[in-house]
Amino acid sequence: MSESNKPTRGRGPNRRARRGAVDGQATGTPASQRELRAQGRRTMRKLLDAGMRVFAERGYHAARVDDIVRAARTSHGTFYLYFASKEDLLRALAVECAHEWNELAASIGPITPDDAGLEELRRFLGAFVDTYRRYGPIIRAWMEDQGGDREIGRLGVRSFTAIASALGLRMDEAGAPHAVDSATSVAALMAMLERFNYVLVSRRIELDDDVMLDSLARLVHRGFFAATPEVTAAG
């Protein structure tokens, strides 16, 4: 074989294609498709946020797809590209909400009877209030079984159970004396937190956030985590 007919190593279209794959230029998702997917995510987010606002203002049962479309400033066709119904949208919001509750449950550190425990409890309560404010309509749908979807209800039960279990563990670690048993104490605390936040979100009372969290943290710390009066009276 003559020198001119020998295959040249490292040259030719295959070599360029391989280099392009490494550089991200010749392979992968075209920029137009990547942008389309990003735009789709933004549109879905817009519909989810609009659904949350409409559920908060009108309640789940009174809300209509028309209302959500109007709030999102999009079309019915666009809505049905992403969701089969308003219940489908509620389910997507419930999944988001459950994910946040589960992350919050996993983040709860030791709530000791001292100042460090009070600080951790206040942090948790602040995160609980923030999450409830964001997802109040979804939590009400869980509590009142508004969607009629068992899976949505199960998401709510599992999420609140995760938080309750974490709090119960922290109570036991703190050596908190239970009035009856730990399950009753945890159920009472969860019921108090849920109803208190419902009142806050529905604006039936207006409270300064810092003052509210300080007071709530001290109340819960002393009542459920064996804090001494000296700790709860500090500050």
Q: What is the DSSP string of 32-80?
A: HHHHHHHHHHHHHHHHHHHHHHHHHHH-TTT--HHHHHHHHT--HHHHH
Cβ burial, residue 83 (10 Å; 0-12/13-18/19+)? buried
CATH number of 56's domain: 1.10.10.60
Q: For residue 74, what are the contacts with CB-CB under 8 A and spacing of at least 6?
A: 43, 46, 47
Domain range spanning residue 56? 27-83
Eight-state DSSP code of residue 7: P
Domain contains 7: no
pTM: 0.77
Read off the amino acid at residue 149. Answer: D
The count of domains in the chain is 2
Is 12's pLDDT higher than 50?
no
| Higher pLDDT pick, 45 / 16 | 45
Give the CATH number of the domain where residue 121 resides: 1.10.357.10
Residues 96 and 68 in one domain: no
- The more confidently predicted of residues 154 and 15 is 154
Better pLDDT: 147 or 36: 147
pLDDT on residue 140: 86
pLDDT in tens, 76-128: 999 999 999 999 999 999 999 999 999 999 999 999 999 999 999 999 999 99
- What band does 147 get if pLDDT is binned at 50, 70 and 90? low
pLDDT at position 37 over 90: no
Of the chain, the percentage scoring pLDDT greater than 70 comes to: 80
Residue-level pLDDT at 152? 84
pLDDT at 157 over 70: yes
Q: Count CB atoms within 10 A of the CB of residue 43.
A: 16
Would 115 be classed as within a structural domain? yes
Specify whether 180 is located in the same domain as 200. yes
What is d(CA 166, CA 225) in angstroms, rounded to the nearest whole number? 13
Final residue in a domain of this structure, among 38, 59, 83: 83
Using 50, 70 and 90 to split pLDDT, how confident is the model at 15?
Answer: very low
Greatest mean pLDDT among 21-30, 84-93, 226-235 lies in 84-93
Query: What angle (nearest 5°) sits at the alpha carbon of residue 26, between those of residues 23 and 30?
Result: 105
Mean predicted confidence (pLDDT) in 48-75:
95
Q: What is the pLDDT of residue 19?
A: 40
- Per residue in 160-213, pLDDT tens? 999 999 999 999 998 877 656 788 999 999 999 999 999 988 877 888 999 999
Residue ending a domain, choose from 54, 83, 112:
83
Mean pLDDT (the chain, rounded): 83
Copy the structure tokens of residue 113.
Answer: 């009877």
125 occurs within a structural domain: yes
